[in-house]
Structure 1
Amino acid sequence: MKKVIIMLLSVGVLVAFQKVEDKKVYICSSVASTKYHFKKNCRGLSQCKATIKESTEKKVRRYGRLLCKWEKKALKKK
């Protein structure tokens, strides 16, 4: 029983200090763009006249970008 507890604690410590990777997202680099997308071929990105850039969800949310309405619909269906 002692070995099981020690093993569970060690696994817990390893998981607690594991770096969580931020989700990659795509944005239109236009000044007027306010949304971010999970897929590079998202319907919302098809209107982008500027370049499409890859970033992290954490970073784009910090700058006030919101999730695209097409991506929201896809998440709700799941």
Structure 2
Amino acid sequence: MKFLATLLITIIITSFSIEEKEVYLCGPKGAKKYHYSKSCRGLSNCKHEITKKKLSEAQDLGLGLCGWED
């Protein structure tokens, strides 16, 4: 019975995958800020390709949220 309860809990937890928010950066490297929207005003002067990363990756790179999106 304990095995069945553990199995059921495991199935429930794994069926709800939490998707991490994706953010946008100006260029593959050298960006200083991340943006929630690809059409953010802060990206309007971007001269490089706009790339997409996971929020945790952007934060690990030391990037902060764009001032237009605060």
TM-score w.r.t. the length of structure 2 is 0.74
Distance 1:59 1:25 in 2: 9
> As a proportion of its length, which structure holds more helix?
1
Cα deviation code 1:13-45 (max 9, x no counterpart): 31x443311101100016542000010000000
Write out per-residue CA displacement over residues 35-61 of structure 1, whole angstroms, 9 at most, x where no aligned residue: 000100000000111110011101111
Aligned-pair identity (%): 36
Q: Following the alignment from structure 1 to structure 2, what is the Cα–Cα distance between the partners of residues 32 and 59?
A: 14
The equivalent of 2:43 in structure 1 is 45
In structure 1, runs of 5+ residues without a counterpart are 1-5, 73-78
SS of structure 2 residue aligned to 1:53: strand
Query: Post-superposition, which runs of at least 4 consecutive aligned residues in structure 1 deviate over 4 A?
Result: none
- Tell me, what secondary structure is at the counterpart of 1:58? helix
Partner of 1:68: 66
Q: Which has the higher contact order (CA 8 A, sep 6+)?
A: 2
* TM-score (norm. length: structure 1): 0.67
Contact residue 23 and residue 53 of structure 2 kept, 8 A: yes
**How many equivalent residue pairs?**
61
Q: Is the Cα–Cα contact under 8 Å of residues 37 and 71 in structure 1 kept in the other structure?
A: yes
